Amino acid sequence: MDRVLIESLAVDTVIGVYDWERSIQQRLVLDLELATDIRPAARDDDLALTLNYAAISERIGTFADEHAFGLVETFAERLAAVLREEFAISWLRLTVRKPGAIPTASAVGVCIERGEC
């Protein structure tokens, strides 16, 4: 299956399990692979026939603004569900990295796959 890609999308949100994390925003960096057949859009050169990565990126920013989860796992799971409900995404791979969490690591985070290809 073809994929629409969104790479290194940065969002700032309240995220973390410790008290000091509940009153600040921290950066998450997201990579998404979104399965879709790109041939209809390519055939007609029509944005309406594919997954609009601009609209999806904007929705992710809104989602990050609206929530304040403890775990990156919860952020990833809930975001994947919202995106699959609101866009015609049959399968996705979502990586959520929290680059500031561990000073001696470039990033930590999770990678999930949901749906059928």
Ligand X SMILES: Nc1nc2c(c(=O)[nH]1)N=C([C@H](O)[C@@H](O)CO)CN2
Q: In the complex with ligand X, which residue's Cβ is closer, 33 or 77? A: 77
Contact letters (x/-) for ligand X, 33-72, by CB under 6 A?
Answer: --------------------------------------xx
- Contact with ligand X (CB under 6 A) among 17, 42, 105, 111: 17
CB atoms within 10 A of CB 66: 9
Interhelix angle for 72-86 vs 53-66, to 10°?
130
Q: Which amino acid does the sequence have at 71?
A: L
Size of the chain in residues:
117
- What minimum distance in Å lies between the beta carbon of 106 and ligand X? 14
Is 73 a binding residue for ligand X by CB under 6 A? The answer is yes
From 94, 97, 98, 109, active-site residue: 98
Rounded CA-CA distance 3/6 in Å is 10
